[in-house]
Amino acid sequence: MKTFILSALASALIASTAFGADVQTRKVTFENEGSKLVGTLYLPSGHKSGDKLPVVVVTGAWTSVEEQMPANYAREMVERGFAAFTFDFRGWGKSGDLPQSARYVEKPDAKASDIRKAIQHVATLPEVNSSEIHGLGICASAGYMVDAVSGNPLVQSVGLVAPWLQNQEIVEAVYGGEKGVDGLIAVSRTAEAKGGEIIPAAGPEGATGVLMPIGGYYYEAERGAIPEYDNKWNNAGWEGWLTYHPADNPQRLDKPLAIVHSESAAIPQGVKTFMSGFAGEATLQWLEDVSQFDFYDNPEDVERASDVVADHFRANTN
C-alpha cells in the first residue's frame, strides 16, 4: 500500500472557494429494482450545452436526504471544476419504496445497489464525461460507496469524508456490547415481523424513543433539520446495519482512495482498521478537532475536506 498522509497545515494552505457558491442544477430520475429514484445534477453556472465534465457521485450519512450534506459537497465539487450528482436512496426522501413498500430502513446492500445504478445512469448524461466518474461517500455511505465502486469499470477513484467504517468490535463498543447488539437485533426482527416500526430519527439530548437523542445537526433547523429531511427511522433496519462490517473488507476496493477524517469525529479506529488491510494507493488527511457533524456543514471543514478529495480526483482522471 502506498499511502500519503497530509498535515492539517498543508490542507489549510490549499486554495479553497466560497462554501455554497452559485451553481446550475437539474432534476434527474432513474430506476432501480422497479422503484424510481430522484436526484440532482449540479453543474458550473457557466456550463454550456455540449460540454462534458468529470463527475462526482456524492452520498451522505445514514437517514439523510440529498439536500443535506450531499448537496454541500456537490456544490464544493462544482466549484472545483466537476459536475456532481446527488440522489435520495430508495425508501428515503423523494425516491420510491424498498421492496414490500418499506421506507426509512437503513439497508446497506440496497443503498450500495442504488449507488451502482446511479453511477450507471450518470454515465449516460450528456453533460458528463463517462470516462471520468468518481465516488464520494460521507459517514455511513462510505462503506456503501466502497461496495458500489469496487470492481466497477465506470469509476476511476473514490473519496471518503468522515467515514463510518465499522466492524463487530466497533459495533459492540458503540451499541452496548454483545448484549446491547443482540437486543437491537431482536427489536429489528420484531419490527420486521410487524411490517415495520417507525420512530423519530433525531431528538433533543436525552430524549427517549428516538434513534439519535443527541440534539445537534439532525435536530437543529439551521443545520440538518431542513424541511426535506424525513427524520424517521424504521427499527426493522437494525439487524442489517449492525451486521454490516465494511472495516473488515478493504481488500475488495480496487480504486485509488482518499480519506479525510479526524480523531475528534466518529470511530476513527474504523479508518485505521480499514487502512491496515488496504493494499492500494491512498491519501489520508487527518484534521484536528473536527466533529462528525462539522464535517457535514461547517464551511471551513467542508472546504478543507473538499480540497483533498478534489485534488485526489484530478490526479486520477484519464
H helix runs in the chain, sequence order: 8-13, 69-79, 108-122, 141-149, 168-174, 177-193, 238-242, 268-276, 294-297, 299-315
pLDDT score of 20 more than 80: no
Q: What is the pLDDT of residues 71-89, one digit of tens each?
A: 999 999 999 999 999 999 9
**Residue 207 falls inside a structural domain:** no
CATH code of the domain in which 114 resides: 3.40.50.1820
pLDDT score of 103 more than 50: yes
**Residue 32 falls inside a structural domain:** yes
Give pLDDT, residue 1.
53
Q: What is the pLDDT of residues 123-140, one digit of tens each?
A: 999 999 999 999 999 999
As a whole number, the mean pLDDT across the chain is: 94
| Structural element, H or E, at residue 53 | strand 53-59
Give pLDDT, residue 4.
53
pTM as predicted: 0.94
- Grid coordinates given for 73: 459537497
Which amino acid is residue 260, in one-letter code? V
**Residue 90 falls inside a structural domain:** yes
Tell me if 187 sits within 8 A of 209, measured CB to CB.
Answer: no
10-31 mean pLDDT: 66
Range of the domain at 37: 2-166+244-315
Angstrom distance (rounded) from CA 309 to CA 284 = 10
**Residue 192 falls inside a structural domain:** no
**Residue 305 falls inside a structural domain:** yes
Percent of the chain with pLDDT over 70: 93
Q: How many domains does the chain have?
A: 1
Length of the chain, please? Answer: 318
pLDDT score of 115 more than 70: yes
**Residue 144 falls inside a structural domain:** yes
With cut-offs at 50, 70 and 90, classify the pLDDT of residue 11. very low
**Residue 234 falls inside a structural domain:** no
Residue 76 φ then ψ, to 5°: -65, -40
For residue 296, give every residue at least 6 positions away whose Cβ sits within 8 Å of its Cβ, in sequence order, or none. Answer: 60, 61, 68, 69, 72, 138, 139, 162, 217, 223, 224, 302
pLDDT score of 317 more than 90: no
Q: What is the pLDDT of residues 150-189, one digit of tens each?
A: 999 999 999 999 999 999 999 999 999 999 999 999 999 9
**Residue 268 falls inside a structural domain:** yes
Give pLDDT, residue 318.
76
